[in-house]
Amino acid sequence: MLLKTLKYLFKRDLEKLKAEILAYQKEENIWVVEKNITNCAGNLCLHLVGNLNTYLGTYLGKTGYLRQRELEFSLKDVPRTTLIKQIEDTIVMIENTLNQMTEADLEKTYPIIVFKKEMETGLFLTHLTTHLTYHLGQINYHRRLLDNTDKLI
């Protein structure tokens, strides 16, 4: 049951991430950092893709993905089409990885220690869905704030 739920949540929220990136009225706003908002949507998108490809792809799916976390926050002006392609590739990777797993696999200890202690894979994957949703909300707010700037003046 949890595996089915995880598949649903990852797919739903990555599709929503794609929709958010596509919804920016001006592509350059994806990379805008204003006032106390320190992370733009572009960097949050790169961070989510890197995070999921690392913790699902590298450690569970054995994809060979090598994370460059510092670039997730330092790269700028990556074209929207590239971000969308990375999201779509991440969706496929997650589907392939989760399709290889069983409910029993979710009860096993996650292959690496992430939060200073061992935890079950199912718990860690649930954490990854909430991490995705947290940043998705930030991106949604960022987009709505910037898209409405002209109306506020």
Question: What average pLDDT score do residues 19-25 get?
Answer: 97
How confident is the model over 106-136, as pLDDT tens digits?
Answer: 999 999 999 999 999 999 999 999 999 999 9
Architecture of domain 2-152 in CATH? Up-down Bundle (1.20)
Phi-psi region of 64 (alpha: psi -120 to 50; beta: other; left: phi over 0): left
pLDDT at 74 over 50: yes
User: How far apart are alpha carbons 26 and 73 in whole angstroms?
Assistant: 20
Which tokens go with 16? Answer: 């929503």
What integer pLDDT is reported at residue 152 of this predicted model? 42
User: How far apart are alpha carbons 93 and 61 in whole angstroms?
Assistant: 8
Query: Residue ranges per domain, the chain?
Result: 2-152
Q: Which of 54, 37, 59, 68 is nearest to 135 (CA)?
A: 37
**What is the number of other CB atoms lying within 10 angstroms of the CB of residue 25?**
11
Amino acid identity of residue 4, one-letter, is K
What integer pLDDT is reported at residue 150 of this predicted model? 53
Phi-psi region of 77 (alpha: psi -120 to 50; beta: other; left: phi over 0): left
Residue 37's pLDDT band (cuts 50, 70, 90): confident
pLDDT at 151 over 60: no
How confident is the model over 93-112, as pLDDT tens digits?
Answer: 999 999 999 999 999 999 99
Question: What average pLDDT score do residues 67-96 get?
Answer: 97
